[in-house]
Amino acid sequence: MPIQDKKQDTKPTYYLTTPIYYVNARPHLGHTYTTVAADAVARWKRMRGYDVLFLTGTDEHGQKIERSAAKAGKTPQEFAAEVSSEFRGLWDRMGLTYDDYIRTTEPRHKQGVQHLFSELQKRGFIYKGTYSGQYCVWDELYVEGTPGTPCPDCGRITETVSEENYFFKLSAFERKLLEYYEQHPEFIRPEARRNEVMAFVQGGLRDLSISRTSFNWGIPVPGDEKHVIYVWMDALANYITALGYGSENCDNFNKYWPADVHLIGKEISRFHCVYWPAFLMAAELPLPKSVVAHGWLLFEQSKMSKSRGNIVRAETVLDVLGADALRYFLLREVTFGQDGSFSFDALVQRYNADLANGYGNLVSRTLAMIVKYFDGVVPAGEAADASIRATLEQQTEQFDQRLEPLDFSRGLEHAWSAIAAVDSYITAQAPWKVAAKDEAESRAKLAGILYTASEAIRMITALVYPVIPEAATKVWQQLGLGDIAKADLKDLKWGDLPSGTKLGELGSVFPRAEKEAIERMQKMEEDRQSQTAADQEAASEQAAARQTKTSGPAEQPPPPHVPEPFSATGLSPEQEADAVAQQAAADQQVGPVSAVSDPLPPPQPVVEPVSPAVPAEPKIGIEDFAKVDLRVAIIRVAERVPKADRLLRLEVDLGYEQRQILAGIAGAYTPESLIGRKVVIVANLAPRKLRGLESNGMIVAASIGEKGTPVLAGFLEDVEIGARLK
Ligand code: MSP
């Protein structure tokens, strides 16, 4: 309808992309993490009134895929189509709201890539030369070194190639790129990735080989069909070919380009922040506004990836806990931009603590009281509580502020602070006691409490909708507000819940997960291994890689990472060092596990038992007390220390830093009960070692009874992490 079109045109646009995933592996949680994050951003931006274009898809060309297909006894086309539809099928099952799905084997893409190649050629940025050297087919990576050199990324032996290639004059863009980074500090986020990329470019750029002749599975170079275009040039161009670049119809390109955000995993920063902008500069096209690189999802201490064989499938979690549980966990647990660990234990803990007992319980207790005391009709809210209203308004604002830089974890902390505040409010007001009194005044008070609680739930539900859309949709219906997808949530403000609204049908949104859910998921994951052609193929590749690694030249330690002359390595030296360290830790079981055999004396309790009697010590001056840096921190990780009955290893977050503390509180607290709990720590205590592990600070606790049972210090109000006690 013309009127709607016009209205749409007035909306600001927001173009958001994920990487396009290789089709040699079925989707796992690593891919799901990026796509879920993008979906949450897309939903949030739509909710705030943007005309969003959210693009995802699959990267289907290259020798790696050609070989995978051959091993599976399929043509590359069949193989790619099969795995691509698995990705798409999973995103659909999860209800992800991508607007377009691009496959690099589509004609629209081929046309666009060839157009881009020709444009660069026309402008004199492409020339012919010869490349002789090493190439890793697995990583589509040129590697510096002699024949037999293993790939610095995956350790597989590189292949020696000698080819006549087309080259892109990347070296011509060194200065321009550096100037661009300087002038647009927001282009690469977070800062750590920006620094890495800048250091790489400052180290000097050499021209980039952008064609291959040794295989056919790719897009032919226009006019010289025995060459296919380098997969990374092919792949990166998807961000514009999906918009119609190089075709008759460029409307979407004109409307949405440049992209607002390319969301990627950190290992492909260099491709997106060096090669891609250089191609665009050469073609005289605008650059994307930002490239945001998130960290890695780790499983069993190393990056979850098919080649490491440590993957978990999203389907396993979907079958047991549902899509919202997975979305919430990924976005809440992993601090955006940093690496984060996945475990079934942590997933179930978060689910129960935050979704079942937190949000789910608040909704069901509040709405059940409206049914009981007001026949299921939202009462008039004249007596709405001012402090709850202020909390909601404040947390809503902070949620938005955190989501702008895609800091989901902190954003969700604000939403859950609001949930905690409303929970405490209900407990303090005890509506069930108010209801027991018969006076009219009590009735009005009861109405005020329940209006306040239900209006708060409405605002919280609107806030968390981008992250847990299924649950939010149900709660919106239970509130009697209809379809949340059609609601105008652009300006979320207090008081928009009309009193008199008849509640919908009630039902539990997040039923509590039992312990056996963990075992079930673990079992399902085992059963799911190697089910598809792609997996079997990956397994044999992995086996082959292991074989070459343990025989002949691959036995040598991999060389230090050096920037390749004109190539693309996905990992910076730091990232590689990280990955190697993580792998070494996993392989050699260093870290917490080795502490088992640490022959140190038994740990001293970190919480010293103190008699409740008046202390005998002399009094101290305020300046002495001021030396003690007491801070509020939140426990992110808690686990037992093997063979140390009383000791727990905690990872606490102070907002400005994360650190490890060992605490002798295992006799009083289970690790699960501590995750997400705010505690007080002595932040400036000199580090010390317990059982071979460093403890950086001390948790403050009261010491009760003869046995000195520890009881952790805490607050009734919600206090921000990092706050100082003085
Ligand atoms: N095809 C290229 C990307 C081309 S984009 C123009 C590629 N594909 S991939 O299948 O390997 O996907 C990589 C991306 O998947 C990462 O950048 C990240 O977004 C996501 N992840 C895959 N494993 C991951 C983790 N273990 N952790 C976090 N993200 C991960 O590279």
Q: What is the pLDDT of residues 348-382, one digit of tens each?
A: 999 999 999 999 999 999 999 999 999 999 999 76
Write out the residue limits of the CATH 1.10.730.10 domain(s) in the chain.
356-486
> Domain 566-589+597-712, CATH 3.40.50.970 — does that match?
no
Mean pLDDT, all residues of the chain? 84
Write out the residue limits of the CATH 3.40.50.620 domain(s) in the chain.
13-303
Q: What angle do CA 415, 419, 424 make, to 5 degrees?
A: 145
Q: What pLDDT is recorded for position 260?
A: 98
> Can you tell me the distance from the alpha carbon of 136 to that of 150, in angstroms, rounded to the nearest whole number?
8
Predicted TM-score (pTM) of this structure: 0.74
Q: Is the pLDDT of residue 391 over 60?
A: yes
Q: What pLDDT is recorded for position 384?
A: 56
> Can you tell me the distance from the alpha carbon of 710 to that of 703, in angstroms, rounded to the nearest whole number?
5
The residue whose C-alpha atom lies closest to atom 28 belonging to ligand 1 is 296
Mean predicted confidence (pLDDT) in 275-289:
98
> Can you tell me the distance from the alpha carbon of 166 to that of 442, in angstroms, rounded to the nearest whole number?
82
Mean predicted confidence (pLDDT) in 521-549:
58
Pocket test for ligand 1, best of 20, 32, 34 (most atoms within 8 A of CB): 34
Query: How far does the centroid of ligand 1 lie from the alpha carbon of residue 262, in Å?
Result: 12
Pocket test for ligand 1, best of 141, 264, 571 (most atoms within 8 A of CB): 264
Query: How far does the centroid of ligand 1 lie from the alpha carbon of residue 19, in Å?
Result: 6
Q: What is the pLDDT confidence band of residue 707, given thresholds at 50, 70 and 90? A: low
The residue whose C-alpha atom lies closest to atom 15 belonging to ligand 1 is 31
Q: Is the pLDDT of residue 467 over 90?
A: yes
The residue whose C-alpha atom lies closest to atom 30 belonging to ligand 1 is 30
pLDDT above 70 coverage of the chain, percent: 85
> Can you tell me the distance from the alpha carbon of 16 to that of 258, in angstroms, rounded to the nearest whole number?
10
H helix count then E strand count, the chain: 26, 27
Pocket test for ligand 1, best of 33, 137, 279 (most atoms within 8 A of CB): 33
Beta strands in 199-343 (DSSP E): 208-209, 211-212, 220-221, 224-229, 261-265, 291-294, 297-299, 302-303, 340-341
Query: How far does the centroid of ligand 1 lie from the alpha carbon of residue 27, in Å?
Result: 10
Mean predicted confidence (pLDDT) in 173-199:
97
- Separation in Å, CA 244 to CA 5, 113, 115, 238, 428: 20, 11, 11, 10, 58
Which atom of ligand 1 lies at the shortest distance from residue 276's CA? 6
Among 42-56, 109-123, 669-683, which is the least confidently predicted range? 669-683
Query: How far does the centroid of ligand 1 lie from the alpha carbon of residue 31, in Å?
Result: 6
The residue whose C-alpha atom lies closest to atom 18 belonging to ligand 1 is 265
pLDDT above 90 coverage of the chain, percent: 61
Q: What pLDDT is recorded for position 21?
A: 98
Q: What pLDDT is recorded for position 598?
A: 23
Q: What pLDDT is recorded for position 547?
A: 37
Query: How far does the centroid of ligand 1 lie from the alpha carbon of residue 154, in Å?
Result: 15
Write out the residue limits of the CATH 2.40.50.140 domain(s) in the chain.
566-589+597-712
Q: Is the pLDDT of residue 142 over 80?
A: no
> Domain 356-486, CATH 1.10.10.10 — does that match?
no
Partners of 653 in beta bridges: 634, 658
The residue whose C-alpha atom lies closest to atom 5 belonging to ligand 1 is 19
Pocket test for ligand 1, best of 18, 20, 21 (most atoms within 8 A of CB): 21
Among 233-242, 527-536, 544-553, which is the least confidently predicted range? 544-553
Which atom of ligand 1 lies at the shortest distance from residue 19's CA? 5
Q: How many CB atoms lie within 10 A of CB 101?
A: 18
Query: How far does the centroid of ligand 1 lie from the alpha carbon of residue 56, in Å?
Result: 12
Query: How far does the centroid of ligand 1 lie from the alpha carbon of residue 685, in Å?
Result: 40
Query: How far does the centroid of ligand 1 lie from the alpha carbon of residue 646, in Å?
Result: 41
Q: What pLDDT is recorded for position 373?
A: 97
pLDDT tens by residue, 316-353: 999 999 999 999 999 999 998 999 999 999 999 999 99
Q: What angle do CA 206, 186, 109 make, to 5 degrees?
A: 60
Q: What pLDDT is recorded for position 9?
A: 58
> Any idea which fold 13-303 has?
Rossmann fold (3.40.50)
Ligand 1 is surrounded, with C-beta below 6 A, by 19-22, 30-31, 33-34, 59, 235-236, 238, 264-265, 267-268, 296-297, 303-305
Q: Which residues, including other chains, have CB under 8 Å from residue 632's CB and lie 6 or more apart? A: 654, 678, 679, 680, 715, 719, 720, 721, 722, 723, 725
